[in-house]
Structure 1
Amino acid sequence: MPSVHEVTIEPLTEEAFAPFGQIIAAKDRPPDFRTESGTQGWAIDFRSGKPLIMLLKTPYRGLSFTKLECHFNLTQTFLPVGGSPAVVAVAPPSPTADRKTLPAPDRIRAFLLDGTKGYA
């Protein structure tokens, strides 16, 4: 029989999200490049693969979920284009190579996306 597990929504910070990926936003460190006109940039690390850019539209479904997706040999990057807040639930990778291994419910974490930052 299915059971319900509550997950506390945490603020999205570099430190809290580090085990799951990187935050895509202006950083609290000097930029990786700067132009004479004042444009500043921080590099996004795509060294682990070739980027494929897609535009996704995800309808609001409330603050509950019934499944998590697991991506092997793939990193996804999400950037908000509408500025709307959202919540993302994540779990650490499975310690085994078995693709059917599910994360323990107590290892799932949820982060509040304020609509100004992305994540990869």
Structure 2
Amino acid sequence: MTETVPPSTDARLVDLPVEPIRTDTFAPYGTLIESTYDGKPFGDDEAQLTLDRGTPRFYIMKLERREPVFRQITRHLAVTQCLASAGGRPWMIAVAPPDAPDDPAAPPDITRLRAFRVEGHQAIMLARGTWHAGPFFEDETVDFFNLELADTNLIDHHNCALDRRFGVRYRFVTG
């Protein structure tokens, strides 16, 4: 669950290269959602949502720009989460696979941590249990469409302090 842990002052800073998001490279973490023509039949290439463990909540969250460095990663065990920038702005997210999504004590596999750039016309669905840090972006503020459960931020916010557990913090590196 959510816990406030002071940052470690001796954690090593690791560069995390940001790559353009693609369906195949993002698949271990969730689903890349791209526009399709109206009337297209539902298929395996679309988000398979898990929203049956509570009341679904769809809202627009306003986020402020942060330094593209993180020391903590989070996951939600009860729900898939869908994110998209409401204003069509590009953004970045770091993810680690949803290993052991039913074990709240399971740590993230930081050897499989990746960073993706999501274009403003794209959305993502994080698989249930996917570790994530972000969104991060260049603008001062960006609104995001967010689909999760009504109590996700209260009771389904499982964090790992990467600096304390693994002695690292990560910096997004673009270009």
TM-score (norm 2): 0.55
Residue 67 (structure 1) shift: 0.9
Q: Structure 1: give runs of 5+ residues left out of the alignment.
A: 35-40
Aligned runs of 1:11-90 on 2, under 5 Å? Answer: 11-27=20-36, 31=37, 33=39, 44-46=47-49, 48-50=50-52, 51-90=56-95
Structure 1 position 94 matched with structure 2 position 99: yes
Aligned residues: 111
Once residues 15 and 118 of structure 1 are traced to their aligned partners in structure 2, the CA distance between those partners, rounded to angstroms, is 15
Aligned residue for 1:2? 11
Once residues 110 and 74 of structure 1 are traced to their aligned partners in structure 2, the CA distance between those partners, rounded to angstroms, is 21
Give the secondary-structure state (helix, strand or coil) at the position aligned to 2:64: coil
Answer 1 or 2: which has greater strand percent.
Answer: 2
Once residues 48 and 84 of structure 2 are traced to their aligned partners in structure 1, the CA distance between those partners, rounded to angstroms, is 14
Larger Rg: 1
Once residues 91 and 26 of structure 1 are traced to their aligned partners in structure 2, the CA distance between those partners, rounded to angstroms, is 25
For residue 45 of structure 1, what is the amino acid of its counterpart? Answer: Q
TM-score (norm 1): 0.76
Give the secondary-structure state (helix, strand or coil) at the position aligned to 2:93: strand
For residue 18 of structure 1, what is the amino acid of its counterpart? Answer: A
Q: Structure 2: give runs of 5+ residues left out of the alignment.
A: 1-9, 126-175
Identity of aligned residues (%): 27
User: Structure 1 74/33 Cα, relative in aligned 2: closer, same or farther at 3 Å?
Assistant: same
Structure 1 position 104 matched with structure 2 position 120: no
For residue 52 of structure 1, what is the amino acid of its counterpart? Answer: R
Residue 33 (structure 1) shift: 0.8
- Listed one character per residue, the Cα deviations across residues 18-72 of structure 1 (whole Å, up to 9, x for unaligned) are 1111112125xxx4716xxxxxx986433x3254211111111132112111110
